Amino acid sequence: MKNKRADTLYCGVRKSKIEEAIPTLNEESLNLFMGYIKERYKIHIRKDVQLKKPPYTKNKILRKYVFTNVRREHDKETKWLLQNITENEFLTYRQKILNSILFRMFNKHETMEIMDGPFKFGSLWSYTTARNKLLSYNKEHPDYVFFTGAFITAGLKNAAKSRYPKEDFMPGCILRYISDINRSELVPDLLACKNQKQVFNRLRAEEGIGDFLAYQIFVDLTYIKEFPFSENEFTIAGPGCKNGLNFLFEDRDGMSYEECLFWLRDNWYGFSDSKVFFDPEKEMIDLKHYDRKMNVMSLENCFCEFSKYYRAVKHIGRPNRTYASRLKAASQVKEKRD
């Protein structure tokens, strides 16, 4: 993604601090991190570009456990968002924003398809029809889970229950929530924001939308052509990302976690002589040349995954999802839809 017209460079961080910082990195962790993203990107190339058959790697950890792509837009759910919402010529700019918010509250494209989304979200839009479709599906398939655990947080659930105490169907709570947002000033407020951090702050001001979900929605909005900001100059380090950075940085030299991500971006090619190096120019062969880089969004995403990878390598923990369990779940969904 190229920078956009309204981007504030180094938004939310201290550029001078980043430029003068001399942090201390753990060399072993640096090599592990570089090796991780190098092999994870090769898996993407083999699977999604070259269309090879599995297995896609000899790395036992990456072969067994599920890790998101180095680039978020290569992940399954984001691909669906891009194809069905972001690049949907039949949706207005406003409708793309509202559908992006709703989609990330579920983060499961099958759920959007069950209720025949995305939606037009006119002034007379009612959540009732969508709610009834989900209820009907739930009766036929009581084991189906409408959300993925990555995005439906306890904060959002609690806020939804608090706002709609008479609604005993959680997906119905979310649909009521987006219906209220449709009638609120959220979209005009977002369009009036002067920088990326203002967008993030306005999103997180909504009850139940915490830092993590607000940042993910912000990134989704950057994919929309009309949206004036990119993902390149603003980031929020989530808990998993902070853990990953702690494994790499022995001393951050006073930088915040977000500033560490900018520092890594700005100094990336300073590691080219290290034992293992991921060179975006040479590895990201499926992207246009201007996009072959590690921006702060990709780094935030990768360090969240690296925290799980590091624990698996060091035998101090393991990721929750395996490919075997994901394939089983996908098969169950397909059987139910058929």
Residue bearing tokens 């449709």? 182
pLDDT value for 317: 85
What's the mean pLDDT in 281-301? 97
pLDDT value for 52: 97
The reply to whether omega before 55 is within 30° of 0 (cis) is yes
What's the mean pLDDT in 293-305? 97
Query: What span, in angstroms and rounded, lies between the C-alpha atoms of 182 and 300?
Result: 30
pLDDT per residue over 102-133, tens digit each?
999 999 999 999 999 999 998 888 999 999 99
* CB hemisphere CA count around 9 (13 angstroms): 5
Query: What span, in angstroms and rounded, lies between the C-alpha atoms of 199 and 229?
Result: 9
45 within 8 A of 286, measured Cβ to Cβ: yes
pLDDT value for 155: 81
Alpha helices (H) along 50-108: 60-64, 76-81, 93-106
161 pLDDT band (50/70/90 cuts)?
confident
**What is the distance of C-alpha 283 from the center of its chain?**
21
pLDDT value for 229: 98
Helix, strand, coil shares of the chain, percent, nearest 5, are: 60, 0, 40
Residue 324: pLDDT above 80? no
**What is the distance of C-alpha 192 from the center of its chain?**
24
322 pLDDT band (50/70/90 cuts)?
confident
pLDDT per residue over 208-264, tens digit each?
999 999 999 999 999 999 999 999 999 999 999 999 999 999 999 999 999 999 999
Confidence (pTM): 0.94
Domain boundaries of the chain, sorted by first residue = 15-73+235-328, 76-222
Please name which of 192, 265, 278, 190 lies closest in space to residue 235, comparing C-alpha atoms. 265
For all residues of the chain together, what is the average pLDDT? 93
What's the mean pLDDT in 30-45? 98
pLDDT value for 331: 52
151 pLDDT band (50/70/90 cuts)?
low
Residue 329: pLDDT above 80? no
Output 332 or 181, whichever has higher pLDDT.
Answer: 181
pLDDT value for 153: 61
pLDDT per residue over 184-219, tens digit each?
999 999 999 999 999 999 999 999 999 999 999 999
Question: Strand (E) positions, the chain?
Answer: 24-25, 249-251
What's the mean pLDDT in 15-34? 98
pLDDT value for 123: 81
pLDDT per residue over 84-108, tens digit each?
999 999 999 999 999 999 999 999 9
158 pLDDT band (50/70/90 cuts)?
confident
Residue bearing tokens 């997906």? 171
157 pLDDT band (50/70/90 cuts)?
confident
